[in-house]
Chains A and B, each alone.
Chain A
Amino acid sequence: MKCQDREKLFLFVQRILQADEADQVRRHLAGCTECARTVEEYRKLDSALDDWSVAEPSPWFEGRVRARVAASGRKDSGFLGFGRVRTLAAGVAATVLIVGALVVFNHQKVAEINQPLSSLARPVTITAGQRVPAKTEALRKPLPPEEQLKMDENLSLLEDYEVVADFDALSELPQANSN
């Protein structure tokens, strides 16, 4: 090795050199008092640095770490954390209420649609042997105000295409007495 290669001497003292390089330095040191002195200085320095002592951890150190980890776990408590469950439950309750309200509302609408038209029309009675006029006298008579109001309220049903398409007028007529 080159004499006074201080970095190599330092690395030798610190046992950082590869084995073959360390052997080379050992051989050199055997015949070089100057490099041997430098190595001795590095050893003394390394030994002197041992005198820097610092404090041990306090007795409550581990407890504090565990407390911080636990607090962090609560804050970031995954999908099923308490806060998220509470939020989720509130969301589900609101959804159930909205869906329930829609079901009840639709049920009332369907009940109205399924109401028989016969209940809306004025009944006509035709006796056996009687000639059925194209327009009966009864139908020509004006309806009483409360009957007219009932008819007007249900006029919207006649604007519903499905109701009108399925409407069989004859089936809605009261059955004539077969006798």
Chain B
Amino acid sequence: MVVDSDLDLMLRVRQADAGSFDELLRRYRTPLVKYFCRMVRDEALAEDLAQEAFLRVYNARNRYRPDARFTTWLYRIATNLALNAIRDARGRGRQDGNGTADDGETSFEFVDPKASAEQQMIETDRGRMIREAIESLPENQRAAVILHKYQDVDYRQIAGILKVSESAVKSLLFRAYETLRARLEPLVRGGQL
């Protein structure tokens, strides 16, 4: 069975083929929702943002250029949405007097006690430590680590998504991992908590 490439599917979406859009939706719903979950933590918001990303893909189908990989385009849209949501949340936190950022680029909290309680129940201590360490990274480093480690996106593509050079991506990843190595030392040295 021949599997259509993302490019073929996207070109057919441009010709108003609903079936091809459904196929792209099936392929990328899970990676995209998980990407947003890791970027913004709040699961309900992550689903909303993933829906918005797919809607933007559909609405911008005529502007899609076949010279760019579909996943680069998709994750660029997703990353912009995620970073805007993070900045909005940080702005709300400042307005509410709940901002915890000390350098303007660090942690943020989405105010959703129900979602947080549910998440805390399923989250392991190790998972929580990793999440908190990655959330403490500056925005670009966080996006680079999540794309590289969890979305399995090539560093060349990450450069296209974040609109930086390939060497800048290598540097972002290295600095991020150095920070994570320091913050997650108990996991790295001891293996178990």
In the assembled complex, which residues on chain A have CB atoms less than 8 Å from the CB atom of B50?
57, 61, 65
A52 CB within 8 Å of chain B: yes
**Cβ A11 vs Cβ B174 within 8 A:** yes
Q: Assuming A16-B170, A41-B181, is B51 touching A68 (CB within 8 A)? A: yes
Task: Say yes or no: B127 contacts A72, CB within 8 Å.
Answer: no
B161 on the interface (CB 8 Å rule)?
A: no
Q: How many residues of A contact B (CB 8 A)?
A: 30
Inter-chain contact B174/A10, CB cutoff 8 Å: yes
**Please, how many angstroms separate the alpha-carbon atoms of A46 and B130 in the complex?**
11
Interface string of A54-93 (1 = CB under 8 A from B): 1111100110111011001000100000000000000000
Known contacts A14-B173, A72-B59; decide if A48 and B130 are in contact (CB<8 Å). Answer: yes
Chain A residues touching B, majority SS: helix
Q: Which of B38, B170, B171 has the most CB of A within 10 A?
A: B170
Q: How far, in angstroms, from A45 to B183 measured CA to CA in the complex?
A: 10
Give residues 150-191 of B contacting A (CB, 8 Å): 150, 155, 170-171, 173-174, 177-178, 180-181, 184, 187-188, 191
Contact call B149/A61, Cβ cutoff below 8 A: no
State which size class the interface on B falls in.
35 or more
In the complex, are the beta carbons of A49 and B181 less than 8 A apart? no
**Complex Cα spacing A10 to B173, Å:** 9
State how many angstroms separate the Cβ of B55 from the closest Cβ of chain A.
5
Cβ-defined partner of B149 (8 Å) among A44, A46, A64, A76: A46
Which B residues fall within an 8 A CB radius of A? 21-22, 25-26, 29-30, 33-34, 37-38, 43, 46-47, 50-51, 54-55, 58-59, 119, 124, 126-127, 130-131, 134, 148-150, 155, 170-171, 173-174, 177-178, 180-181, 184, 187-188, 191
